[in-house]
Structure 1
Amino acid sequence: MANCKTGVMIGTMLLRRSLHTSPRISRYLRQNEILRGNKESSLAKYAFLTIPVTTLGLGLWQISRLKWKESLIEELQTKTNLPTVNLPEELFELNDLEYRRVQVRGHFDHSREMYLGPRSFLKGGDSISTGGLMSAGAGGKSGYYVITPFILSDRNLEILVNRGWVSQDQKNPATRKQGQVTQEIVLEGIVRHSEPRPTFVPKYQSGNTWSYRNLSEMSTVMGTSPVYLDACVDSDVPGGPIGGQTRITMRNEHLSYILTWLGISAGSSVLWWKQFVK
């Protein structure tokens, strides 16, 4: 039995040697290796080509996103500068009036004051950044928006008004008694709707401080109608919160994305040309 196995092994070795030493068979094997190499090279060529093609598509897509973002910012700035209108009798009309200025007459109910934040201080519709997480407003302190029910004089209606920004150490209304006006006033504000809950921000549980603007829940807790206005800076009260806290600018980094993706596309295209074409 051992001799039989040894014979098989020797026969196999001789067969392999004869195949490689035969000119015709050797040429056939070399051709197969070349074809296999060409096939692998072709696959690598087209696989690598997906990089410049994909990044080119992303760059072109970011161009359209840049145009969309610039158009949206321009639209917001236009809306906030349109003439002031009265608060409509039918509240459903507010669905089409976000970022429009409206005028109301009435007085605040400071006993139900609540807060939205922490928030950065806005000036001219944009935050004043110091390069950190806090605002540069009021010495770079963190702050809150003061949200107060506003009782209208000309109808049986209560709404919510973001009176403006206060620093952390002025969150307590006892520190700003002068600004807690109780008389009837005419107020101009910008219509705002609810904002989506940011990622990782917990839902509202209880208390008088909110992390994000949820108009439905806020109005339910406060017992008001679901109407929310950002008080304009013209409606500031001496000693009170700083109004004009409506953000009309947006983060716009699409140009840097365009340059990044098109740069990658151009660089990888040159490498592809040198490797597979030139």
Structure 2
Amino acid sequence: MASLKIVLAYSSRVLSTLKKQTNFVYIKRTFLLSRVPLFRRADGRFVNFGRKSSSTAVGAEKGEDSFLKWFLLLIPATTFGLGTWQVKRRQWKMQLIDDLTKLTNAEPIPLPLDPQELNNLEYRRVRVRGQYDHSQELYILPRSPVDPEKEAREAGQLSSSGETGANVITPFHCTDLGITILVNRGYVPRQKIRPETRMKGQVEGEVELVGVVRLTEIRKPFVPNNDVERNRWHYRDLEAMSSVTGAEPVFIDADFGSTIPGGPIGGQTRVTLRNEHMQYIVTWYGLCAATSYMWYAKFIKRIKV
């Protein structure tokens, strides 16, 4: 609502300034034209050019007011258009969230080996079988635990649970495919990042795993660079992670069912996208209503704004 107050104040200031300038032009013309002397015509009568030009000035003033009247109507028209555009954007975003939710809850399929096919399967559930290599764990941090229901309620809000830790990324050798991939086993609190603090959760032997395919990330503004030497990763760089561990650039988020007591908490896939469109809708339509009333009051009802 702060943006609404700013626009209202600015619109009022523009109207006041333009009104003062118009009055100034009118007064200046009237003053100058009143100084014009009378001239004698051939028939002996005098012509007062000042009065005639004064009428012209009044007509010019009316023309300026008419132009200003229709020009300022662009403000409510533009804000109405922006509000309508945000309505359509919100519908698109809600459909996208629904599609991603369906993907992450679909029946898992076998992990394909074709990289091109894999690139089209982000957020798709897959099934693999193999064993972990805990000696080459990677840590993406800082991270907070995923709570899908809470994030759906707070979509678009700048909020934080206050709890931070890391996601544990572990190489996983797929015995049925003969390749090693990277698996995000899940979230651990800060005091449990070191493997020796959660030995009960270090799964040994062959296991079957269901996870969600994730692709590489591009570093966002203000996100620190990955510190490979200190094993502190801030975003998902599959090429660099594969180079360090010797795994293929294939990455999946293990689902919640993979959680072992004392180990990382699975199901750390965030599918809730930021959805701030309702706030924008209220702002733009509010500005449209406010500026429409100001235009009506100024040019139709002739109320002093």
Q: How does 1:83-232 map to 2 (within 5 A)?
A: 83-124=107-148, 127=151, 134-135=160-161, 140-207=162-229, 208-232=231-255
Partner Cα distance (2:124, 2:278) in 1: 29
Distance 1:210 1:81, change over 3 A: same
Q: Which consecutive unaligned segments of at least 5 residues does structure 2 have?
A: 1-31, 40-45
The two structures have a TM-score, normalised by structure 1, of 0.85
The Cα RMSD (Å) is 2.4
- Report the secondary structure of 1:104's partner residue: strand
- Report the secondary structure of 1:204's partner residue: coil
The alignment status of 1:268 with 2:291, answered yes or no, reads: yes
Q: Which residue is equivalent to 2:28? A: none
Percent of aligned pairs with the same amino acid: 45
- Report the secondary structure of 2:75's partner residue: helix
- Report the secondary structure of 2:198's partner residue: helix
Structure 2 residue aligned with 1:62, among 86, 89, 107?
86
Q: Which residue is equivalent to 1:10? A: none
Shift of 1:59: 0.3
Shift of 1:183: 1.2
Shift of 1:205: 4.3
- Report the secondary structure of 1:209's partner residue: coil
Count of residue pairs brought into register by the alignment: 259
Contact 2:168 2:184 in 1 (8 A): yes
- The letter of the residue matching 2:101 is Q
Partner Cα distance (1:125, 1:91) in 2: 33
Shift of 1:173: 1.2
Shift of 1:195: 2.7
The two structures have a TM-score, normalised by structure 2, of 0.78
Contact 1:125 1:245 in 2 (8 A): no
Shift of 1:49: 1.3
Partner Cα distance (2:150, 2:207) in 1: 27
The alignment status of 1:35 with 2:53, answered yes or no, reads: no
- The letter of the residue matching 2:224 is P
Q: Which residue is equivalent to 1:7? A: none
Q: Which consecutive unaligned segments of at least 5 residues does structure 1 have?
A: 1-12
